[in-house]
Every structure is written in C-alpha cells, then in structure tokens.
Amino acid sequence: MKHFVLLLTFSLLIACASHPYYVTKIEGKKIGVKDKQSAVPEIENYIKPFREHIDKDLNEVLAYCPENLDKSKGELQTNIGCFLADITLEKSNPIFLKRENKKIDVCILNHGGIRTILPKGDVTARNAYEVMPFENSAVVVGLKKEQIIAIANYIISEKKPHPLSGMTFTISKDKLPINILVQGKPLEENTIYYVVTSDYLSNGGDNMEFFKQNVERHDLNYKLRNIMIDYFKDVDTLVINKDIRITKE
C-alpha cells in the first residue's frame, strides 16, 4: 500500500508538470470584406465610413482628357507615354531647380509601368491609381554622353515605345541611333545630363543598366502617381503633345 501511494503521488506530479506545446496545424477562413453577402456585419460597419471617404476622394473629377491615351497604339511612341514623360519632367523640374539650382534635361520611363489606358472624358485620382498602381517615386540621375547614347540604343533594342521626353533621335538603317538631341542640342562630351526616371529604373530595373553608371543621384521623394494627380489638379484639360521624338531613316 505504501509503495502504491508513492507511485500514485509520483504519477500525479509528472502529470501536473508543464509540457511544451507545438503548433501542428493552422486553419483559416477567407472573409470577403468587399462582398456584402459574405462580409461580417461588424467589420463592414467599421470599414464603411473609411471606404466612403476614400471613394469620394478618388472619384472627384479633376480634369478633362480630350482623347483616349493608350500605350498599345504606337510603334516608337504612344500618346500616353509621351504624356506621362512630359508631365513627369514638367512637375519634377521645379523641385530639382529649387533644391539643386539645376534643370532636368530628359525623362524616360518604362512602357510596362503603364498599366491601363487613360480614357477620354473626365479624369479622377482613381484613374491615376489605375494607370500607375505602384509606389514608384521620381529620381534624378546625372549621366554623361555615353549613357545618353546607351538610352537610345536601349530603346532601339527593346523595340518598345518607352515614354521619352526632352530627347529626340533617329534610328539609322543599321539600327543605330543618330542625330541625338537633348533639349534640341547635340550631345557634348563634358556635359552632365540630368534624367528623371523612377526609383525602380534608376536601380537598373528592366535592364536599364546605364543608370547604374550615373555620376549623381537625387531622390525627389515624389511619387509618379502623385505627379499625375497634381497635374490633373493644375489644368482644366490635359495637354497631349504630338511632337515626334523618334524617327527612322
């Protein structure tokens, strides 16, 4: 009996001792917050005023677009590409001039970064979010003559109408860039050309390796999407430049 009591006591002590616990299985259930049929009422009621406030801001008419801007229409350049490059150069220049007392010469963006059309008619902040859904910001890099030539060669080899502003050139019969002009002037050996682009591209994104050879870099902390929205707010009707930037022999 004595041994039995000791054994029972010992067993109880072991049973009461703490044991480590491990997660062996995790289960979850997706709740469609946007789906009013499946949304939890408490969550829906909490989110509703925030959604309505955001929708009001995004849907406010800011300007008028006189034509459909579409990246799929154009071999060497597109109306939406030229528009985005033009306004990025236009809105970034005063900031760079104030900070560095220098002017931006060129803007190049990437064709793939344009995610949808900008339709004819009223435009809103929502349109800007749809065209530029990423969090890319404007960056100004200083490039020499060799890198400017590399930009032209890149555009030729890519065979895509990348957005370009402030720079023109001709593609020769040998598929080489000739008659390169920056702000209407031929390239010079000892000149630093300031090019505004996105932070993604400035780091070599989309194989734009020429940006890694920059001699200067300046982050403007100005999102490309906000450039669009600010431009919309500043004008009544969008200005779409029709000038030719790239030609063929």
Alpha helices in the chain (DSSP H): 2-16, 41-59, 79-100, 125-131, 145-158, 199-202, 224-234
Strand order of the β-sheet with 193-198 is 164-165, 106-108, 193-198, 137-143, 216-223
What is the pLDDT, as a whole number, of residue 15?
57
The helix-helix angle for 224-234 and 79-100 (nearest 10°) equals: 100
152 falls within a domain: yes
Name the residue range of residue 200's domain. 69-113+137-223+241-248
Selection from 196, 152, 192 nearest residue 175 by Cα: 152
pLDDT tens-place string over residues 50-68 = 677 677 779 999 999 999 9
130 falls within a domain: no
pTM to 2 decimals? 0.81
Domain count for the chain, please give it.
1
127 falls within a domain: no
And the tokens for 18?
A: 């703490």
pLDDT tens-place string over residues 163-199 = 999 999 999 999 999 999 999 999 999 999 999 999 9
pLDDT tens-place string over residues 128-165 = 999 999 999 999 999 999 999 999 999 999 999 999 99
26 falls within a domain: no
183 falls within a domain: yes
Q: How far apart are CA 134 and CA 114, in angstroms?
A: 10
What CATH number does residue 147 fall under? 3.90.780.10
